[in-house]
Structure formats: C-alpha cells, structure tokens
Amino acid sequence: MTLFLETLIGGLLAGTMYSLVAIGFVLIYKASGVFNFAQGAILLFAALLFVTLLEAGVSFALALVLTVAALVVLAVLIERLVLRPLTHRSPMTLFMATLGLSYVIEGVAQGTMGADVHALNLGIDDVPLFFGDLLISQFDLAAALTAVVLVGVLALLFNKTHTGIALRAVADDTRAALSIGINLHRIWQIVWSVAGVTGLVAGLLWGARQGVQFSLSLVVLKALPVLIIGGFTSIGGAIVGGLIVGAAESLAEAYIGPHIGGGITSWFAYALALVFVYIRPAGIFGQRAIERV
C-alpha cells in the first residue's frame, strides 16, 4: 500500500507539470478557438531568455520582470503581424499560422541566445521528503503549489475583472462580443500575454528539472493528451487532465511496465487519450460544439 500511495501521489504531483503546459493552450483556445502550436516555442523562448539574463549577471527578480515584459511585447507583435491580418479566417488557417510562428520563434531564440543546454537553479532542491512512510519529492510539491496559485490567479482574472469578463464573452460568441464594443485585438494581446507568462512558469519548472534546451519545446506534446482528456476549453479540465495523465503513467509504469519491459511513459498517455476520444470526444470538462445547419 505504501508503494501504491507513493506512486499515485508522485504521479499526481508530476501531472501538475503537464497541467501548467496545457493551461497556456486552453487560454488561447478559449479566446480564439485556435490550437496554438507555437506555445511550446514561446515556452522555450521564455525559459531561454530568463536563464540567459541570469547568466549575464542580472538578478533573479529583474530577469523575471524583463522576461515578462519581453513576452508582452512578443504577444503584441504576434497579434499585430500574424493574427490581425487573419481575422475572420478559418481556424485551420490560424493553426497553420501558429505552426509557422513556432519555427520562427524557435529559430530567433536559438539564433540570438544559442542552442547550448543551460542549467537552471530555482532554489528548490529535488530531494525526498518523508511523510510517515511516504516519500515525496520536494520539487514536485513546489510545482503543485505553483500550479494551485496560478490557477487561483487566473480564476480571479477571468471571474472578477472586466478584462476577464470580456475574454469570456469573446470565447462564448465573438460576433456578439464585437457588436457590444469589445476590442477583439486588445483581448487577443492580453490572452497571448497571459499564455506567455503561463508558459514562462512551466518553462522554468521544466527547465530546472531537465535543463533549458531545444527539447524543452517538445514538452507541449505531453499537453495534447491532457487537453483531450480534460477538454480544450476548461482550465479546470487542464488541471484534472494533467492529474489523470500523471497518475496513470506512474501507476502503469510501476505495475504494468515490469511485465512488458518498461517504457510505458512514452506512449501510455496517448493510448489513454485515444480511449477518451471514443467515449467522450469533448473531454471531461469540454463543451461539445453545436452547429445549426
């Protein structure tokens, strides 16, 4: 039972790392109905810029402020140069635009800041903590707490501010939101900025664990099953989906892996997502689209 609980809790905590990546996708999908393939590149850019500033001698707090400012500028440029000219185009067109954008951001980031692996120390040691007979990672606990705080801040932003209410209106019905004077372009700038900051948080945590490097952008691939399971339109769904994926991977690796030679974590989440596609295509918290014909 101790092994089971350790595996389950460790998986749940690790799942919050997946959730942090998935939240960035949900924010932009809710505001524009577009799957932002560039989120991984933005995550890499944010983490790489932050660690580069640290290595240049900039203090932690100032590096954080400068990185957030750069992400806001990047969001404004993306909206003006990429999204605004494609307003009212099909979601597939916007998706292809974000696909191309991801390569541009990755190329610029690595061209200006290098492609070397950078070690990142956030001051959180990845050491085990004992809770009775249970052994839990201190780093995973910190990541889980970060996810809780981030979700709380986003909940306040969306439910208690005028900007958040406007964002929800755009997500529900873009044409109706435009008819009452909501500035769609400003909303897009804000939501891409928030998604960028979310990507920064996820990038720092993942970078501290496996180093800031090119492969960091591939972390977003693990967000796909999280989104399919939790739903593309729900932040809460991203959290629940991440917890399910993390726990399922850990338990499968511990109890099924030894019988088939291991390596389950590389594919089990996608198999689980495939099951959800059959039984609940919109995800646990997703909303099924209804189109009048």
Q: Is there a contact between 254 and 244 (Cβ–Cβ < 8 Å)?
A: no
Residue 73: per-residue pLDDT:
94
List CB contacts of 177: < 8 A, sequence separation 6 or more. 166, 169, 170, 184
pLDDT score at 162? 80
Q: In this structure, is the dihedral angle defined by the CA atoms of residues 208, 210, 212 and 215, taken in order, positive or negative?
A: negative
pLDDT score of 2: 75
Looking at the chain, list the stretches that DSSP marks H as alpha helix, in order from N- to C-terminal side: 2-32, 39-55, 60-78, 91-113, 138-160, 162-172, 174-179, 184-210, 223-230, 235-255, 257-260, 268-279
Joined tokens for residue 221:
């691939």
118 with 213: CB under 8 angstroms?
yes
Q: How many whole angstroms separate alpha carbon 193 and alpha carbon 211?
A: 24
pLDDT of residue 68: 94
**pLDDT score of 8:** 85
Q: What is the pLDDT of residue 292?
A: 52
Tell me what pLDDT residue 289 has: 57
Q: What is the pLDDT of residue 288?
A: 63
pTM of the model: 0.86
pLDDT at residue 215, rounded to an integer: 76
Q: How far apart are CA 118 and CA 125, in angstroms?
A: 17
End-to-end CA distance of the chain: 54
pLDDT 10s digits, 131-177: 777 778 788 888 888 888 888 888 788 777 887 777 777 766 667 77
What is the distance between the alpha carbons of residues 35 and 26, in angstroms, rounded to a whole number?
Answer: 8
Would you give the distance in Å from CA 260 to the centre of its chain?
31
Contacts of 278 (CB under 8 A, 6+ apart): none
In angstroms, the CA 73 to CA 126 distance is 33
pLDDT (tens digit, 0 to 9) for every residue of the chain, 293 residues total?
Answer: 677 888 888 888 888 888 888 888 888 887 777 788 888 889 989 999 999 999 998 999 999 999 999 999 999 999 898 888 887 777 788 888 988 999 899 888 888 887 788 888 887 777 777 777 777 878 888 888 888 888 888 878 877 788 777 777 776 666 777 777 778 788 888 888 988 999 899 889 888 888 888 877 777 788 889 999 988 888 888 888 888 998 888 888 888 877 777 678 778 888 888 998 888 888 888 666 555 55
Which tens digit of pLDDT belongs to each residue from 68-101?
Answer: 999 999 999 998 988 888 877 777 888 889 889 9
* Residue found by looking up tokens 């400003």 in the block: 186
